[in-house]
Chains A and B, each alone.
Chain A
Amino acid sequence: MTLLSFSQSSPVEWQALSADDTDVSALDANAHVIVPFGAVDALFSKVKAVTTWVGVVLEPADDVVALETLLGDIEIILLTFPKFSDGRAYSQARILRDRFGYRGEIRAVGDILVDQVGFMVRCGFDSMVLAPGVSDGAVARAVERYSLVYQSASDERLPVHKLRSEGQGGGDALASLGDGI
């Protein structure tokens, strides 16, 4: 497994709880704990009383909107791609960033193609867990492939229409972009 990180990056090691883990008294005060979305109501406040570092893992069908009031207390949100072709997590990430202003880490887990990493970064993901064996070159190509974007998203990149309308002549704006992103 390869952790690819673009901004903030939490540790890879943590304790993943399940809905059955109702007794949290054994948790260490410095433990890193991940709670599944389905157990948030039952466990989140209990775990938070023991350790400050708590994350939540969501499946694509989980309603990210339900986390709104807890977001300030969540260190990391793991969004799951059961198959690379299941794109629901892109919308989950954008709702977290754009609608709720979530500032913690968002990490992609599951079946991820390296060619999707650029889309993920644009939707507000900080990091992603890739299958082993992906070369650094492939990652770099996937991320740096497109120097321009046509629409605003959850990242800081200025879309082409803004570059144009801010009076930057095509040449100047392109020059300022340099060779990379």
Chain B
Amino acid sequence: MYQYDEFDHRFVNERVEDFRDQVTRRLAGELTEDQFKPLRLMNGLYLQLHAYMLRVAIPYGTLSSAQLRMLASIARRYDKGYGHFTTRQNIQYNWIKLQDAPDILADLASVEMHAIQTSGNCIRNITTDQFAGAAADEVKDPRPYAELIRQWSSLHPEFSFLPRKFKIAVTAAKQDRAAIRLHDIGLKLVESDAGETGFEVFVGGGMGRTPMIGQRIRDFIPERELLSYLEAILRVYNRFGRRDNKYKARIKILVHALGADEFARQVEEEWPHVREAGVDAAWSDFARIAAFFGAPDLADETDATGEFDRHIAGNTDFSRWVERNTHAHRSPGHVSLTISLKPHDGIAGDATAEQMELVADLSDEASLSEIRVTHEQNLVLPHVAKGKLYDIWSRLVGAGLATGNIGLLTDMISCPGMDYCALATARSIPIQQAISQRYDDINRLHDIGDLKIKISGCINACGHHHAGHIGILGVDRRGVENYQLMLGGSGAEDAALAQVTGPGFGADEIVDAVETVIQTYLGSRVDNESFLETYRRVGLAPFKEALYDAA
């Protein structure tokens, strides 16, 4: 993975000193909260319902074991012993004291991490496929490009005060695990017939109040011209995106208003000017970046799986966990292992300091000291020999980390909701926990099969409810929490927005409503259809009928 050179170190250290100065001035009363707010937001520090929250960037979701140990240490020293992994592949600490924030940033800088651009109306953390560099279905590792974009976007002088936040996702695999069409810019790495690497460019996707699927504005942009093309997109957005209403300020609204063709035309008109200004220069530095992401040197472990096969045959818990939580690796005898942060009584995405340290240890022993964070709020050991899985599983069981539910109903995305967030209008975590408790029978979960439930506690949709096979949106109705149910969304390569079923449900009714949806699916499915396949075949009507007509 990428390693800082002296330049990168110097940059983050300067950032720490910058923020230390700003916090000192705030604590001394030289800055009012109004003056301090834009400054702290540039360092990922939010003021939440109960305390400050610090959001730490995990660029493209890749961590070293040393970095994960530092995240554990910060959780123990400055928070309540845990952290929360987010849908942006970042981590948040919910109980931070303002005076500690500079020291936390210094700790992060010591392991080549920071909180730059994790908030504010700027280019946020670049996200990608959690199996990048390992997946069997990948054209090429997308992370060098994500790192290139990260560096280009760091304190970009023109794009630090955009109309609204800006999210870029990159994928290089057939299966879209990065939800690129639900991002402001989605980049799909492709190779031309001539063997040249480039990107298909999607613009204007997003969730929030006005969910939209991103539209393709270019079939192929050569890799060497990627940054100037991005700069042209950002310039058009910065100049013409709406600023009169923050709920209409994302690029999707501009693309929708202009039409994708006209937006693309404006970008193409701007692009030559940007290109001539030399944004793309020094491609040789890309080779330096790419060298950090060379294919891992893994021995062929195909023949070393005898013991593994015996455990698979003899232990159903283990074999089911392997079935759900591993993903095909390009090296023979290896898998990418997803460690579920969705235990049946827990909070989606939370991990304790001890759990983080165990995962760090396991990555040292079995995954080249590398860990990934997924946008579905789980952790991944990307390069694991099958022969080591049984030992890993046994140790995860003891730490409450061996839930074999990846891609199943209880592998839910949930935002923090009203338990933490100042914007939320309803709680999400208790709903996620109640669903989790209802579906605690692993046999039943396997029978239900692939299913993504996504829960948000307000219309800003941090819990991605629009992209849920089953989406749940908590709103406030005259002081009472009410939960809208929606069906049929997808954030994958078959991206679609979920459809609202009808009137919402009370907090004590929503789990039963989910069960009604599940029953309807089970009664309608043919052969081995997944929930989404059944839904797409039969449509919303039978679900609506079951939910509302019976009453």
Beta-carbon nearest neighbor of A120 in chain B: B157
Bound CA span A153–B273, Å: 13
Bound CA span A86–B239, Å: 10
Contact of A88 among B6, B11, B238 (CB under 8 A): B238
CB <8 Å contact, B277 and A160: no
Beta-carbon nearest neighbor of A137 in chain B: B21
Return B105 CB to nearest CB of chain A, in Å.
14
CB <8 Å contact, B282 and A161: yes
Q: Contacts A98-B273, A174-B7 hold; do A151 and B156 have CB atoms under 8 A apart?
A: yes
Contact of B158 among A123, A150, A162 (CB under 8 A): A123
Contact of B239 among A88, A115, A159, A163 (CB under 8 A): A88
Among the listed stretches B159-167, B211-219, B343-351, B426-434, which one makes contact with chain A, having 4 or more residues with CB under 8 Å of it? B159-167
Among the listed stretches B147-155, B311-319, B499-507, which one makes contact with chain A, having 4 or more residues with CB under 8 Å of it? B147-155
CB <8 Å contact, B157 and A115: no
Q: Which of A64-101 contact B (CB under 8 A)?
A: 84-88, 90-92, 94-95, 98-99
Digit string of A33-55 for contact with B (CB within 8 Å is 1, else 0)?
Answer: 00000000000000000000000
Bound CA span A96–B162, Å: 19
Beta-carbon nearest neighbor of A93 in chain B: B158
Contact of B155 among A92, A149, A165 (CB under 8 A): A149
Bound CA span A162–B155, Å: 17
Q: Which residues of A contact B161 (CB under 8 A)?
A: 84-87, 90, 116
Digit string of A140-166 for contact with B (CB within 8 Å is 1, else 0)?
Answer: 010001111111111000011111110
Bound CA span A9–B18, Å: 28
CB <8 Å contact, A150 and B11: yes
Contact of A90 among B21, B38, B158 (CB under 8 A): B158
B39 at the interface (CB under 8 A from A): yes
A113 at the interface (CB under 8 A from B): yes
Bound CA span A98–B272, Å: 11
CB <8 Å contact, A122 and B157: yes
Beta-carbon nearest neighbor of B289 in chain A: A161
Bound CA span A147–B15, Å: 11
Return A177 CB to nearest CB of chain B, in Å.
9
Beta-carbon nearest neighbor of A164 in chain B: B285
Q: Which residues of B contact A87 (CB under 8 A)?
A: 121, 158-162, 238
A171 at the interface (CB under 8 A from B): yes
A14 at the interface (CB under 8 A from B): no
Q: Which residues of A contact B18 (CB under 8 A)?
A: 141, 145-146
Bound CA span A87–B239, Å: 8
Q: Which of B151, B153, B160, B161 has the most CB of A within 10 A?
A: B161
CB <8 Å contact, A90 and B157: yes
B288 at the interface (CB under 8 A from A): yes
Q: Which residues of A contact B5 (CB under 8 A)?
A: 164, 170
Bound CA span A154–B279, Å: 10
Q: Which residues of B contact A85 (CB under 8 A)?
A: 38, 121, 161
Return B15 CB to nearest CB of chain A, in Å.
8
Q: Contacts A85-B121, A87-B238, A91-B239 hold; do A148 and B11 have CB atoms under 8 A apart?
A: yes
Number of A residues near B (Cβ < 8 Å) is 43
A118 at the interface (CB under 8 A from B): yes
CB <8 Å contact, B281 and A152: yes
Q: Which of B39, B238, B239, B276 has the most CB of A within 10 A?
A: B239
Q: Which of B8, B227, B282 has the most CB of A within 10 A?
A: B282
B224 at the interface (CB under 8 A from A): no
B476 at the interface (CB under 8 A from A): no
B323 at the interface (CB under 8 A from A): no
Bound CA span A174–B9, Å: 11
Bound CA span A116–B239, Å: 18
Return B511 CB to nearest CB of chain A, in Å.
41
Digit string of B422-449 for contact with A (CB within 8 Å is 1, else 0)?
Answer: 0000000000000000000000000000
Return B95 CB to nearest CB of chain A, in Å.
27
Bound CA span A85–B14, Å: 23
Q: Which residues of B contact A91 (CB under 8 A)?
A: 158, 235, 238-239
Q: Which of A92, A118, A161 has the most CB of B within 10 A?
A: A161
Pairs of residues from A and B, 10 with the lowest C-beta to C-beta distance, nearest first: A87-B161, A170-B6, A122-B157, A161-B285, A119-B157, A161-B282, A165-B282, A98-B277, A165-B284, A90-B158
Q: Could you list 10 A-B pairs, sorted by A, with CB under 8 Å?
A: A85-B121, A118-B157, A154-B277, A160-B8, A162-B281, A162-B285, A164-B285, A164-B288, A173-B7, A174-B7
